[in-house]
Amino acid sequence: MLTPIPHRIMNIFEDLIDELKEENLIEQTVIETSQAEADSKALKDKTPPVETMPANQQTTEQQSPTAEKMPLEARENLAQVVSLNGKQPSANNADFFRKRAMEEVAFLQMVEAVFAGVEREYLKIIPKPYDDLEVKKVLHAFIQVSHDTDSPEHLQAQFQLLQETESWHSSLAMRDERIMTANLRRYCENSRPPLSSPAIIALARFYRNSPYSEQVRSKFDLIITRLFSKETGSRRKMLFSRAELIEHIAGLYADWSSIPLYSTEKDDTQITRTAKEFEEFIIEAEAATSFDELINNNFYNRLRIFKESTNEDFYAPLVAAMGIEVNIRVGNRYVELLDAEKEKGNIAGLKEKYGLTQDSEISEATGKTLLLAELLKQKAFALEPAKEKMVAREELAAPEAEWKSKKETSEKNGDNLKNNLNGINKWLIVATLLAIVVSFGLYFWAATMENEQTKPAATDVKLNIEN
């Protein structure tokens, strides 16, 4: 028999939203926290105590015959509804179901908007949005009858809504097949304004509950890392500790009604071993002393291949948390070692040796676009604050000092000229000027006389016509 979701698990999603708000990573969400707390308190006060299993070990042992024919996500949502039906007061059930239904539609709308953006900007195709009119009509009908959770009309409207939302999910999954992980990664990194936390949560939920494939897993790896990290220039920072990450991811899975893929001791052992191997990758990367050492060991290709080998185990909260941590720490180590090479002045050597051959592989392994050519263009290392201020002051002072120097030189030359003029006899200057004028006058007079003497005389010739 299905077990109800504990009160703590129902509130963990709201707690995550609050923490993201504190990090200034979220502005608006479809969840009204105060209302959720009031509903959860009422559920806690009126729900009889039951023995519950951990969220990662919930199973679906019994389902109705109708549910067997439903798609995966719809089946899980219906199972949760059936588990709560009859065990909660009707008023509280109505609020819970209404909230779940509106959240489901809101999540699909956000995924639709992201896919449209990727198709338009990176696939260069005109998006063909899903016609959600029928979904909205069914949602409206469901809300109208949600006050009576025991009525046949409520169950019928609920089933129709699950069918419509699953149809929408399937349509989005078909569109997602054309979107490569690199396309989605560049869109998330370059989106202006940046994607909100609810949009990233909606994408994580979509990929977590989609049929497994390596492309779906790599996109989930990308999105879940963006959700729990913060960009700081070319590096990233984890928002929570490893233990907190595991708790938050488990809480999200419970809220999404995601099917756990591990429940036996054998599976738990394998998950622990996988997490340990991720830890070894982190140790190896941070132990590397040079950029060449990290690249030449084929490190990032080995990491990418190992992620692919985890298959469905990658979704386990422990493994997913380790995947987030390895993405951030290994990616940061790549940037740190590259900055060290730039500080040594080895930029030309790196371009010639590595070029663009490993950019795609490294970006895929770390869940972040790391382009060698772009990183080499950036400033090799930041100046110390005091040194940077001193350089700025020197740059500002240089033009002023040059101007002062020129002014002083000009004033000095002017003073020297004035002193020299004061030491000369004024009558001597006048006599000199008169001598120059007389000299030029005599010169022009002599030239005029010479021209007059050399001019040929005119001769009159008379002709005697008669003789």
Looking at the structure, do residues 274 and 136 belong to the same domain, yes or no? no
Residue 285: other Cβ atoms inside 10 A = 22
Residue 18, in any domain of the structure: yes
Quote the percentage of the chain above a pLDDT of 70. Answer: 62
Amino acid identity of 32?
E
Looking at the structure, do residues 301 and 273 belong to the same domain, yes or no? yes
Report which of 133, 134, 160, 132 is spatially closest to residue 146, judged by C-alpha positions. Answer: 160
Q: Rounded mean pLDDT of 256-277? A: 77
Q: Which two tokens stand for residue 288?
A: 């590397």
More confident of the two residues 295 and 76: 295
In this structure, the dihedral spanned by the alpha carbons of residues 358, 360, 366 and 372, taken in order and rounded to 10 degrees, is 60
Please give the pLDDT value at position 400: 55
Amino acid identity of 52?
T
Looking at the structure, do residues 355 and 217 belong to the same domain, yes or no? no
Q: Which two tokens stand for residue 398?
A: 């240089």
Residue 422, in any domain of the structure: no
Looking at the structure, do residues 250 and 296 belong to the same domain, yes or no? no
In which band, very low, low, confident or very high, does the pLDDT at 17 lie, cut at 50, 70 and 90?
Answer: low
What is the domain extent for residue 292? 264-403
Looking at the structure, do residues 240 and 286 belong to the same domain, yes or no? no
pLDDT digits (tens, 9 = 90+) for 137-176: 999 999 888 888 888 888 899 899 999 999 999 999 999 9
Please give the pLDDT value at position 54: 37
Instruction: Find the distance separating the first CA and the last CA of the chain, reported in whole Å.
Output: 164
Helix, strand, coil tally for the chain in percent (to 5): 70, 0, 25
Report which of 256, 211, 84, 87 is spatially closest to residue 158, judged by C-alpha positions. Answer: 84
Please give the pLDDT value at position 19: 54
Q: How far apart, in whole angstroms, are the C-alpha atoms of residue 98 and residue 262? A: 31
Please give the pLDDT value at position 272: 92
Using DSSP's 3-state secondary structure scheme, residue 239 falls into coil
More confident of the two residues 81 and 450: 450
Q: How far apart, in whole angstroms, are the C-alpha atoms of residue 295 and residue 262? A: 35
Please give the pLDDT value at position 326: 96
Peptide bond into 48 cis (omega under 30): no
pLDDT digits (tens, 9 = 90+) for 185-215: 999 999 989 999 999 999 999 999 999 999 9
Please provide the average confidence, as pLDDT, over all residues in the chain.
Answer: 74
Looking at the structure, do residues 277 and 399 belong to the same domain, yes or no? yes
**Which neighbouring-strand residues pair with 458?**
none
Q: How far apart, in whole angstroms, are the C-alpha atoms of residue 261 and residue 313? A: 7
Q: How many domains does the chain have?
A: 2
Residue 252: other Cβ atoms inside 10 A = 22
